[in-house]
Structure 1
Amino acid sequence: MKLLAAFSLLVSSKLTLATFPSCRCVYGDKCWPSATQFTQLESKLSQPLIYPRPSGAVCYPTSNPSGNCSGLVDTWTDGNWRADQPGAMEAPNFETYAFKNGTIDACYANVTLGVPCGQGSVPVIGVDARGVADIQAAVQFAVKYDVRLVVKNTGHDYLGRSAARGAFVVWTHNMKNITYNASFVPQGAPSHETYNAITLGAGVQWHEAYAAANAQGRIMVGGASAGGSVGAAGGWVLGGGHSALSPTYGLGVDNVVEMTVVLSTGEYLTVNSHQHPDLFWAMRGGGGGTYGILTSVTYRTYPSLPVQAALFSANATNPTVMNTLMTELMRIHPALSDAGWSGYGSASNSSLFFAYMKPNGTVAQLNESFHSFVVFAQNLTSQGLSIVTKPVYEDTWYEFYSTYLSGGVENGGNTMLGSRLIPRETLEKNSKELTNILLPINLSWNFVAGGKVSKIDPNSAGVNPAWRKAIIHLTFGIAWPFGASSQEIDGMIDILKAKEKALRDLTPESGAYFNEASLYEENWQYTFFGTHYPALKAIKDKYDPHGLFVVAEGVGSEDWDSDLNCRKWW
């Protein structure tokens, strides 16, 4: 009877199947805009339309008559080169597309695999945005023709949010304006509310932002990556934004003074604590590609400081010895956090490394904090452990960053991450269990919470409240060779899921960092956003009435199918 009543209601309301939301238009559909319609869009833009190709396409004669990709080998793992290509992702597995039957559409740089170069999940056409008007024109076009839209800055994304098969892309990478203002007043704020601040366009990367701040004798809370290639005013801050300076000054979102954004309605808003405070709250940690297209961010800056650092590395042939050392290191992190240290580390069954720093620190403070751990490690040398310790002092944080935090390789391999925010209590009471879960696989950790991060009101921004109880953000991952089958990849994903479950069981009330996490988290709404999710969803619905901005496991994505192209109505 209830079903009949519901059907009668549909009929009496004159509703038909056409009333229900349809699927977004993607390339190849009959509804895809015509060449003429794209030409009309192009006439409104400052730049020609772009036609992105996968990063390996240069190796194929159809895209390069010489078919010579020797130069590509030299740049393949360069994050800044990848950011400069509208179709390249940091992890090229997100350039591929897996069909339900297990076949994979991809463009591998290794031509000896004998696989044709396909478009995969790389958007087929888009806008090279250089200003707000370009973005507004792109958004209005996407709404008018109901096309699948994605937003891409640098493509440094472990959830594949910068790509979608057959989509239309807004590429913000070339919005490079940087403005420093020692007495910045947010729009709508009283004149006495001033900040020593720097405003970054959406395409500015951290190496550019740090250099600009350093030129003013200032520092700012920002990310660490090879070459500083991660975007400073995009997904990094929209997801929360962690930094080696976070324990001193807070997360990236805690240092945002103002943002500007284009909504799906085409409106251009300036948001801060005085104007549209609900949207300002949501965009500080509620996830990128969700509420609108970010066009600029204004951050607080701080006076430049010297840095005392401790570099430590260890190697062991016996996994049990490394387990013992790692357990002790995890155990002492609460004390290190209280003493003002932060930084990054990595470990496996046979090796361990960390680079920890303390702004305005001294050698005496370094010795006080690390002496007992070094003695602990020295006592294991009789069991085959070898260690190297190195104290480092730099006159400025910028010098420390440039020397120790911006080197290495920025991916270029098929990678998926899992992560967990590890609370103080777990480190104090369950460091052994934590090590047992993690050490059999290669892992990294970001010692970027605690300190100031833990002292800020969890409800002051939309970022996951689990950050406020954490000290460490752990990451672990899987990788596979180019040309691997869907079955092989699924086997690796099962390993990732098992580690995620073990960490959830150990830290059931914690969560994960949305920007460096897995597509396979259970209850992702809570895992990534915690108790803030209902409020974030309401704000999303308010400011994106067209439902234009949809990303994997982003706020509101549960309303869409697995490809994020068709709305669910049941």
Structure 2
Amino acid sequence: MPVSCLSRMILQSVLLASLALAQPRCKCTFGKTCWPGEKAFNKLASQVSQPLVHPVPPESACYPANNPADNCTDVTAHSREGNWRAEFPGSMQTPYWETYTFPNGTISACYLDTTLGFSCQQGSVPVIGVDARSEKDVQTAVKFAAKNNLRLVVKNTGHDYLGRSTARGAFLIWTHHLKNITFRDTFRPVGAPQAKVYEAVMTLGSGVQWHEAYDAANSRGRLLVGGLSAGASVGAAGGWILGGGHSALSPHYGLGVDNVLEFSVVTADGRLVTANAYSHSDLFWALRGGGGGTFGVVTSVTYRTYPSVPVIGIFGAVPLTSEAIAKALVTEFIRLQPIWVNTGYGGYSNINSSALQFFFVAPNASQADVDATVQPFFDLAANLTSGGPPMQNGTVPFDSFFSWYRLLFSGGEQVGTNIFIGSRLLPLPLIQSSPEKVAETILSIEGGVLWHAVAGGAVSRVPPDSTGLNPAWRNAVTHVGAFQGWPEGASASVIAAHGNKLQGEVSKLEKLAPGSGAYFNEALPFEPRPQTTFFGSHYKRLKAIKKTYDPASLFLVANGVGSEDWDSSLNCRH
């Protein structure tokens, strides 16, 4: 090696080592002497468009001493509605993540049930933050956090099973009110050749939720690949897309990351950059699956859209009245899954020892073709359950995906309770070769599983290394989730016991397909090997890109890229 090259490498190593030594070992959190004073926060307030927010758990309205003017009746009536909870900077969709457990096992929390006898405390809810209404607001907040070495969290709606958008004593950037929606008939990504033009794209601010995005797309006669939950309250341009973004439409159109054309993102140095295939392409690669709250603050996402087309809804509700019937029907259902998803049918199922329930959507398909595909399963179910409880199976035509979505997801309650979720991706070879073994495992899991038919088909046709997403997605048929819940006010030991129980159930899925990976947005918060489980062979490259754009680790989330270099609180380096 030439001496000059060797000298350059040594100098670079020394500079990097010096940078590491210069960085504080721990983040600054509320209550420490390093925490900015009133003067600093007043100056920040003068530089942003809205007054600073002082988040509190929404349940605090039920404690007059904390919020004497608030209405507890409103909280009680709406606490399980995702869109209601999203309107509070201090609210998480899963209340557990508003709480904080000290090393000695005591819990700081603010419970909705005041009869438990606990006082209302701040828990893990950040104490102060910026209600961002513009990209400039985000830039100002990021620079403030970096200058003061603050523990920083980024939150949109609080849909988060790993607690990544909240932290005790932290400074918050709340992106929920970045609601701009722009439709463009033609679009050329920044830096792209003149001929690289896309038609009918939508740019969504990072605070836009899926119900708002779907309404806007439908008004234009367009279809958008997006997430589905009660009230469609999940953010359309935040953690959903950054973690991969699965959808019932994915087998037909691909995952969310397969439909993104461009991001606007504020990086750790406060710059607003455009990331696409031609500008900051490394960051564009990482943002498509590398996880939210990790590489910067996304302010908008530009998606391709598709013409609205008729769809066929596929519905099934089959009682499983004996072990033999359960095994036979679930085995056949699983055996058929590669056929269904590779034909472009996607959807969701709940499978347990007593029932199999599912609803799928088949875009731009004829009812005759759909019936020919699914009727054999309905016939088998009718034959095996003859004389038992009635089934509810069939196919129904809809004029659009929007109509199907409105029927199933326009309302309902899906949040506001304490829950852990664990998941695994199940690959095509396993499903094809061992459907009976998969069925036996699924039926053995306490409480059953959520079977998300959101892979295969178009998802499998995308080259595994084209995005930062875990490559396991490209060989998967389904994303399977198990869950454990517990009542409000449970002790730390009871919560830990539920976590251990769930970990045991997930290990059954892991044994089916060792190393298959999991979906980062719906997974165990205590995965033993999060780097490989969530990111697979892409982890090394993702971490290198993070060091490029965030060398001081301003952005840290639980189980995210680079988190292994920090303690469990993500406040201090190892």
TM tier relative to shorter chain: over 0.9
TM-aligned CA deviation for residue 383 of structure 1: 7.4
Structure 1 partner of 2:573: 567
Query: Which of the residues 369, 376, 379 maps onto 1:365?
Result: 369
Assess, with a 3 A threshold, how the Cα gap between structure 1 residues 148 and 34 changes in structure 2: closer, same or farther: same
2:227–2:246 contact (8 Å) kept in structure 1? yes
The answer as to whether partners of 1:309 and 1:366 remain within 8 angstroms in 2 is no
2:346 pairs with 1:329: no
Query: Shift of residue 399 of structure 1?
Result: 0.8
Corresponding residue for residue 143 of structure 2: 140
SS of aligned partner of 2:505: helix
CA contact (8 A) 1:318 1:384 kept: no
Q: Residues of 2 paired with 1:319 and 1:44: CA distance?
A: 65
Aligned to 1:480: 486
Residue in 2 that maps onto 1:258: 262
Taking the aligned partners of 2:328 and 2:167, their CA distance within structure 1 comes to 44
Contact 2:426–2:478 (CA under 8 A) maintained in structure 1: yes
For the structure 1 residues 314 and 123, does the alpha-carbon distance in structure 2 shift closer, same or farther, using more than 3 Å as the test? same
Q: Which runs of 5+ in 1 are unaligned?
A: 1-13
1:59 alignment partner AA: C
Q: 1:489 aligns with which of 491, 495, 502?
A: 495
Residue 403 in structure 1 maps to residue 418 in structure 2: no
After alignment, is 169-178 or 135-144 more displaced? 135-144
TM-score, L = length of structure 1: 0.95
Are the aligned partners of 1:315 and 1:351 in contact in 2 as well (CA < 8 Å)? yes
Match of 1:464 in 2: 470
Report the CA distance between 1:330 and its aligned residue: 1.0
Classify the secondary structure of the residue corresponding to 1:477: strand
- Equivalent positions of 1:370-449 (< 5 A) are 370-382=374-386, 384=388, 386-439=390-443, 440-449=446-455
Per-residue CA shift, 1:364-384, capped at 9, x if unaligned? 112211122112111221474
Aligned: 1:541 with 2:544 = no
Aligned 8 A contact 1:437 1:499 in 2: no
* Letter of the structure 1 residue corresponding to residue 287 of structure 2: M
Higher mean Cα deviation, 195-204 or 498-507?
A: 498-507
Distance, in Å, in 2 between the alignment partners of 1:228 and 1:353 is 21
Aligned to 2:43: 40
1:56 aligned counterpart, secondary structure: helix
**Gaps spanning 5+ residues in structure 2: where?**
1-16
Write the mapping of 1:203-222 to structure 2, written as runs, cut at 5 A.
203-222=207-226
SS at match of 1:388: coil
In the alignment, the residues of structure 1 paired with residue 320 and residue 255 of structure 2 have an alpha-carbon distance, to the nearest angstrom, of 35
Note the C-alpha offset of 1:304: 0.5
Percent identity between the aligned chains?
A: 51
Distance 1:366 1:170 in 2: 46
Q: Give the aligned residue type for 2:496.
A: D
Q: What is the number of residues matched between the two proteins?
A: 556
More moved, 149-158 vs 188-197:
188-197
What per-residue deviation string (whole Å, max 9, x for no partner) do you get for residues 456-482 of structure 1? Answer: 111111011111001111111110000
CA contact (8 A) 2:249 2:361 kept: no
Name the amino acid aligned to 1:121.
S
Given the two structures, how large is their TM-score scaled by the length of structure 2? 0.94
Q: State the shift of 1:317 in Å.
A: 4.1
- 2-structure distance, mates of 1:266, 1:205: 25
> Quick one: distance in 2 between partners of 1:232 and 1:268?
20
Deviation at 1:20, TM superposition (A): 6.7
Aligned to 1:10: none
- Of 192, 201, 212 in structure 2, the residue corresponding to residue 197 of structure 1 is 201
Distance 2:340 2:147 in 1: 55
Check if 1:341 corresponds to 2:331: no
Q: Which residue of the other structure, out of 485, 508, 519, is the alignment partner of 1:513?
A: 519
More displaced stretch, 441-450 vs 523-532: 441-450
Say if 1:203 and 1:68 are closer, same or farther in 2 by CA, change over 3 A.
closer
C-alpha separation in 2, matches of 1:316 and 1:506 = 23
Paired residue type of 1:123: P
Residue pair 2:341, 2:454 contacting (<8 A) in 1 also: no
Provide the secondary structure at the position in 2 that maps to 1:541. Answer: helix
* Comparing 148-157 and 420-429, the one that deviates more: 420-429
Which residue identity does 2:114 align to in structure 1? V
Q: Which residue number corresponds to residue 298 of structure 1?
A: 302
Pairwise CA distance, 1:193? 1.2
Q: Counterpart of 2:276 in structure 1: which amino acid?
A: N
Counterpart of 1:393, as a letter, is P
Once the two structures are superposed, residues 301-332 of structure 1 have per-residue CA deviations (whole angstroms, 9 ceiling, x without a partner) of 00010001211101234344323322221111
AA of the residue aligned to 2:82:
G
Map of 1:53 onto structure 2: 56
- The alignment partner of 1:516 has SS state of coil
Label 1:433 to 1:495 Cα distance change in 2 as closer, same or farther (>3 A): farther
Question: In the alignment, is the contact (CA less than 8 A) between 1:224 and 1:406 conserved in 2?
Answer: no
Structure 1 residue 63 displacement after superposition? 2.9
State which of 64, 78, 81 in structure 2 corresponds to 1:78: 81
Across the aligned residues of Structure 1 and Structure 2, the Cα RMSD in angstroms comes to 1.8
Is 1:504–2:510 an aligned residue pair? yes
What is the rounded CA distance, in whole Å, between the counterparts of 2:286 and 2:21 in structure 1? 33
Give the equivalent residue in structure 2 for 1:351.
355
**How far apart, CA to CA, are the structure 1 residues paired with 2:410 and 2:466?**
31
- For residues 328 and 491 of structure 2, the distance between their equivalents in structure 1, rounded to whole angstroms, comes to 37
CA gap of 1:105–1:323, structure 2 versus 1, over 3 A, is farther
Q: In 2, distance between residues paired with 1:379 and 1:140?
A: 65
1:107-162 per-position Cα deviation (integer Å, ceiling 9, x unaligned) = 00100000110100000100000111111111111111111000000000111001
Partner residue of 1:95? 98
- 1:306-325 superposed matches below 5 A: 306-325=310-329
- Please report how far the alpha carbon of residue 509 of structure 1 lies from its aligned counterpart in structure 2 after TM superposition: 3.5
- Write the deviation string for residues 375-406 of structure 1: whole angstroms up to 9, x where unpaired: 21112214745421132111111111111244
